[in-house]
Structure 1
Amino acid sequence: MNFLVDENLSPRVAELLAKAGHDAVHVRDLKATSAPDSTIMALAAADARVIISADTDFGALLAYARAKEPSVVLVREIVELRPPDMANVILGHLDVLEPHLRAGAIATFTATGIRVRALPLR
Protein backbone atom coordinates (compact mmCIF):
# COMPACT_ATOMS: atom_id res chain seq x y z
CA MET A 1 0.00 0.00 0.00
CA ASN A 2 0.96 3.66 -0.36
CA PHE A 3 1.11 5.63 2.88
CA LEU A 4 1.60 9.26 3.86
CA VAL A 5 2.63 9.59 7.51
CA ASP A 6 1.56 12.87 9.07
CA GLU A 7 3.95 15.20 10.87
CA ASN A 8 2.52 14.36 14.30
CA LEU A 9 4.17 10.93 13.97
CA SER A 10 7.80 10.00 13.76
CA PRO A 11 9.37 9.73 10.29
CA ARG A 12 10.60 6.36 11.53
CA VAL A 13 7.06 4.98 11.10
CA ALA A 14 7.27 5.70 7.35
CA GLU A 15 10.76 4.19 7.21
CA LEU A 16 9.57 0.99 8.88
CA LEU A 17 6.52 0.67 6.62
CA ALA A 18 8.79 1.16 3.59
CA LYS A 19 11.19 -1.44 4.93
CA ALA A 20 8.23 -3.84 5.11
CA GLY A 21 7.67 -3.36 1.37
CA HIS A 22 5.16 -0.52 1.26
CA ASP A 23 5.50 2.82 -0.48
CA ALA A 24 5.55 5.06 2.59
CA VAL A 25 6.63 8.67 2.93
CA HIS A 26 6.52 11.19 5.74
CA VAL A 27 5.16 14.70 5.13
CA ARG A 28 8.71 15.91 5.75
CA ASP A 29 9.82 13.96 2.65
CA LEU A 30 7.29 15.93 0.59
CA LYS A 31 8.35 19.28 2.07
CA ALA A 32 4.85 19.59 3.52
CA THR A 33 5.69 20.06 7.19
CA SER A 34 3.24 22.55 8.75
CA ALA A 35 0.97 22.32 5.69
CA PRO A 36 -2.77 22.58 6.35
CA ASP A 37 -4.67 19.30 6.64
CA SER A 38 -6.44 20.07 3.37
CA THR A 39 -3.06 20.15 1.60
CA ILE A 40 -2.03 16.86 3.21
CA MET A 41 -5.31 15.34 2.03
CA ALA A 42 -4.75 16.61 -1.51
CA LEU A 43 -1.20 15.20 -1.58
CA ALA A 44 -2.43 11.84 -0.34
CA ALA A 45 -5.31 11.71 -2.82
CA ALA A 46 -3.06 12.68 -5.75
CA ASP A 47 -0.72 9.74 -5.06
CA ALA A 48 -3.42 7.29 -3.87
CA ARG A 49 -1.88 7.27 -0.39
CA VAL A 50 -3.49 6.38 2.92
CA ILE A 51 -2.86 9.02 5.57
CA ILE A 52 -1.59 7.74 8.90
CA SER A 53 -2.13 10.34 11.61
CA ALA A 54 -3.06 11.06 15.20
CA ASP A 55 -5.03 14.11 14.00
CA THR A 56 -8.79 13.58 14.14
CA ASP A 57 -9.38 16.67 11.97
CA PHE A 58 -9.04 14.51 8.86
CA GLY A 59 -12.30 12.76 9.69
CA ALA A 60 -14.09 16.08 10.05
CA LEU A 61 -12.70 17.34 6.74
CA LEU A 62 -13.71 14.14 4.95
CA ALA A 63 -17.21 14.31 6.44
CA TYR A 64 -17.66 17.96 5.53
CA ALA A 65 -16.55 17.35 1.93
CA ARG A 66 -18.40 14.00 1.70
CA ALA A 67 -15.13 12.79 0.18
CA LYS A 68 -14.43 9.20 -0.82
CA GLU A 69 -10.68 9.63 -0.56
CA PRO A 70 -8.07 9.63 0.83
CA SER A 71 -8.41 6.84 3.36
CA VAL A 72 -7.10 7.59 6.83
CA VAL A 73 -5.65 5.43 9.60
CA LEU A 74 -6.06 7.21 12.94
CA VAL A 75 -3.60 6.17 15.63
CA ARG A 76 -4.43 8.76 18.29
CA GLU A 77 -5.11 6.17 20.99
CA ILE A 78 -1.88 4.28 20.31
CA VAL A 79 0.31 7.33 19.66
CA GLU A 80 2.36 6.61 22.78
CA LEU A 81 3.79 3.49 21.13
CA ARG A 82 7.36 3.61 19.92
CA PRO A 83 7.62 3.81 16.10
CA PRO A 84 8.57 0.12 15.66
CA ASP A 85 5.61 -0.95 17.79
CA MET A 86 3.20 1.37 15.98
CA ALA A 87 4.40 0.14 12.59
CA ASN A 88 3.98 -3.46 13.76
CA VAL A 89 0.42 -2.79 14.93
CA ILE A 90 -0.47 -1.26 11.56
CA LEU A 91 1.26 -3.99 9.58
CA GLY A 92 -0.30 -6.69 11.74
CA HIS A 93 -3.80 -5.54 10.77
CA LEU A 94 -3.31 -4.68 7.10
CA ASP A 95 -4.70 -8.02 5.91
CA VAL A 96 -8.07 -7.00 7.36
CA LEU A 97 -7.81 -3.25 6.72
CA GLU A 98 -6.44 -3.18 3.18
CA PRO A 99 -9.72 -3.88 1.32
CA HIS A 100 -11.47 -1.18 3.34
CA LEU A 101 -8.68 1.35 2.84
CA ARG A 102 -8.58 0.68 -0.90
CA ALA A 103 -12.35 1.25 -1.11
CA GLY A 104 -12.18 4.41 1.01
CA ALA A 105 -12.40 4.32 4.79
CA ILE A 106 -11.29 5.73 8.09
CA ALA A 107 -9.75 3.07 10.33
CA THR A 108 -9.32 4.07 13.96
CA PHE A 109 -7.09 2.10 16.28
CA THR A 110 -8.48 2.13 19.82
CA ALA A 111 -7.27 0.60 23.05
CA THR A 112 -9.65 -2.31 22.51
CA GLY A 113 -9.59 -2.83 18.74
CA ILE A 114 -10.18 -1.14 15.41
CA ARG A 115 -13.21 0.77 14.18
CA VAL A 116 -13.68 1.12 10.40
CA ARG A 117 -16.08 3.58 8.76
CA ALA A 118 -16.60 3.60 5.01
CA LEU A 119 -16.24 6.82 3.04
CA PRO A 120 -18.06 9.03 2.35
CA LEU A 121 -19.06 9.62 5.95
CA ARG A 122 -22.72 10.36 6.50
Structure 2
Amino acid sequence: MIRVLLDQGLPRGAVPRLREAGWDAVHVGEIGMSRASDGEILDYARCADRVGITLDADFHTLLVLGSKTSPSVVRIRIEGLQAVAMAELLLRIWPRIESAVREGALVTVTERHVRIRRLTVDSHKP
Protein backbone atom coordinates (compact mmCIF):
# COMPACT_ATOMS: atom_id res chain seq x y z
CA MET A 1 0.00 0.00 0.00
CA ILE A 2 1.18 3.50 -0.79
CA ARG A 3 1.59 5.53 2.42
CA VAL A 4 1.96 9.29 2.09
CA LEU A 5 1.95 12.34 4.35
CA LEU A 6 0.81 15.58 2.73
CA ASP A 7 2.43 18.74 4.09
CA GLN A 8 0.53 21.83 5.23
CA GLY A 9 0.79 23.74 1.92
CA LEU A 10 -1.02 21.02 0.01
CA PRO A 11 -4.81 20.90 -0.28
CA ARG A 12 -6.47 18.62 2.27
CA GLY A 13 -9.08 17.82 -0.35
CA ALA A 14 -6.51 15.70 -2.22
CA VAL A 15 -6.56 13.12 0.58
CA PRO A 16 -10.04 11.67 -0.11
CA ARG A 17 -9.22 11.22 -3.82
CA LEU A 18 -5.97 9.41 -2.96
CA ARG A 19 -7.82 7.21 -0.46
CA GLU A 20 -10.40 6.36 -3.14
CA ALA A 21 -7.48 5.14 -5.26
CA GLY A 22 -6.39 2.82 -2.45
CA TRP A 23 -3.66 4.96 -0.92
CA ASP A 24 -3.09 5.40 2.81
CA ALA A 25 -2.95 9.20 2.67
CA VAL A 26 -2.85 11.57 5.63
CA HIS A 27 -2.61 15.37 5.75
CA VAL A 28 -0.55 16.94 8.55
CA GLY A 29 -3.64 18.93 9.57
CA GLU A 30 -5.53 15.71 10.30
CA ILE A 31 -2.98 14.56 12.85
CA GLY A 32 -2.42 17.83 14.72
CA MET A 33 0.84 18.73 12.97
CA SER A 34 -0.29 21.93 11.22
CA ARG A 35 2.26 23.97 13.14
CA ALA A 36 5.01 21.33 13.26
CA SER A 37 8.49 22.16 12.01
CA ASP A 38 9.81 20.61 8.82
CA GLY A 39 12.11 18.42 10.91
CA GLU A 40 9.22 17.17 13.04
CA ILE A 41 7.20 16.35 9.93
CA LEU A 42 10.14 14.45 8.44
CA ASP A 43 10.64 12.54 11.69
CA TYR A 44 6.96 11.60 11.76
CA ALA A 45 7.05 10.46 8.12
CA ARG A 46 10.16 8.36 8.84
CA CYS A 47 8.68 6.71 11.94
CA ALA A 48 5.31 6.11 10.24
CA ASP A 49 6.96 4.79 7.07
CA ARG A 50 5.32 7.43 4.87
CA VAL A 51 6.53 9.33 1.83
CA GLY A 52 6.41 13.08 2.42
CA ILE A 53 4.64 15.17 -0.21
CA THR A 54 5.40 18.90 -0.05
CA LEU A 55 5.82 22.21 -1.84
CA ASP A 56 8.75 23.06 0.45
CA ALA A 57 12.38 22.86 -0.76
CA ASP A 58 13.58 22.70 2.85
CA PHE A 59 12.59 19.05 3.16
CA HIS A 60 15.13 17.99 0.54
CA THR A 61 17.79 20.21 2.10
CA LEU A 62 17.25 18.80 5.60
CA LEU A 63 17.55 15.23 4.34
CA VAL A 64 20.72 15.88 2.35
CA LEU A 65 22.46 17.92 5.06
CA GLY A 66 21.52 15.31 7.66
CA SER A 67 22.75 12.43 5.46
CA LYS A 68 19.38 10.75 5.92
CA THR A 69 18.23 7.81 3.82
CA SER A 70 14.57 8.22 4.71
CA PRO A 71 11.86 9.28 4.37
CA SER A 72 11.50 9.75 0.66
CA VAL A 73 10.09 13.16 -0.22
CA VAL A 74 8.22 14.31 -3.31
CA ARG A 75 8.44 18.07 -3.85
CA ILE A 76 5.77 19.53 -6.12
CA ARG A 77 6.97 22.65 -7.94
CA ILE A 78 3.71 23.49 -9.67
CA GLU A 79 1.86 26.47 -8.25
CA GLY A 80 -1.86 26.68 -7.66
CA LEU A 81 -2.93 23.06 -8.06
CA GLN A 82 -6.37 22.44 -6.62
CA ALA A 83 -7.12 19.28 -4.64
CA VAL A 84 -8.31 17.04 -7.47
CA ALA A 85 -5.49 18.17 -9.79
CA MET A 86 -2.92 17.52 -7.04
CA ALA A 87 -4.26 14.02 -6.42
CA GLU A 88 -4.41 13.25 -10.14
CA LEU A 89 -0.82 14.45 -10.57
CA LEU A 90 0.39 12.12 -7.82
CA LEU A 91 -1.59 9.20 -9.23
CA ARG A 92 -0.17 9.85 -12.70
CA ILE A 93 3.51 10.12 -11.72
CA TRP A 94 3.54 7.39 -9.06
CA PRO A 95 4.24 4.44 -11.38
CA ARG A 96 7.33 6.28 -12.60
CA ILE A 97 8.71 7.04 -9.12
CA GLU A 98 7.42 4.17 -6.99
CA SER A 99 10.51 1.96 -7.00
CA ALA A 100 12.79 4.93 -6.24
CA VAL A 101 10.71 6.15 -3.29
CA ARG A 102 10.59 2.63 -1.85
CA GLU A 103 14.41 2.65 -1.77
CA GLY A 104 14.77 6.27 -0.61
CA ALA A 105 14.62 9.22 -2.97
CA LEU A 106 14.13 12.92 -3.35
CA VAL A 107 11.71 13.57 -6.19
CA THR A 108 11.05 16.96 -7.75
CA VAL A 109 8.01 17.40 -9.96
CA THR A 110 7.65 20.36 -12.32
CA GLU A 111 5.23 20.96 -15.15
CA ARG A 112 7.73 19.45 -17.60
CA HIS A 113 9.93 17.07 -15.64
CA VAL A 114 10.09 14.52 -12.87
CA ARG A 115 13.58 14.39 -11.36
CA ILE A 116 14.65 11.57 -9.05
CA ARG A 117 17.68 11.73 -6.77
CA ARG A 118 18.49 8.70 -4.63
CA LEU A 119 18.92 9.19 -0.90
CA THR A 120 22.23 7.60 -0.03
CA VAL A 121 24.72 8.21 2.71
CA ASP A 122 28.07 9.37 1.35
CA SER A 123 30.65 7.08 2.96
CA HIS A 124 33.41 9.63 2.22
CA LYS A 125 32.00 12.23 4.60
CA PRO A 126 33.91 12.65 7.87
TM bin (shorter chain): over 0.9
TM-score (norm 2): 0.91
After superposition, the C-alpha distances for 1:40-93 in whole angstroms (9 at most, x for unaligned) are 001100111001100000011001111000000101x21312111111111011
Query: Paired residue for 1:60?
Result: 61
Residue 105 of structure 1 aligns to which amino acid in structure 2?
Answer: A
| AA in 1 matched with 2:25 | A
**Structure 1 runs not aligned, ≥5 long:** none
Q: Name the one with the larger helix percent.
A: 1
* Residue in 2 that maps onto 1:27: 28
Q: Which runs of 4+ in 1 moved over 6 A?
A: none
Q: What is the TM-score with the length of structure 1 in the denominator?
A: 0.94
Structure 2: give runs of 5+ residues left out of the alignment: none
Once the two structures are TM-superposed, the CA of residue 121 in structure 1 deviates from its matched residue by 6.9
User: How far apart, CA to CA, are the structure 1 residues paired with 2:59 and 2:24?
Assistant: 21
Q: Deviations over 1:92-112 (max 9, x none)?
A: 111111100000001111121
Say which one has the larger Rg.
2
CA RMSD of aligned residues (A): 1.2
Identity of aligned residues (%): 34
Matches within 5 A, 1:37-116: 37-75=38-76, 77-116=77-116
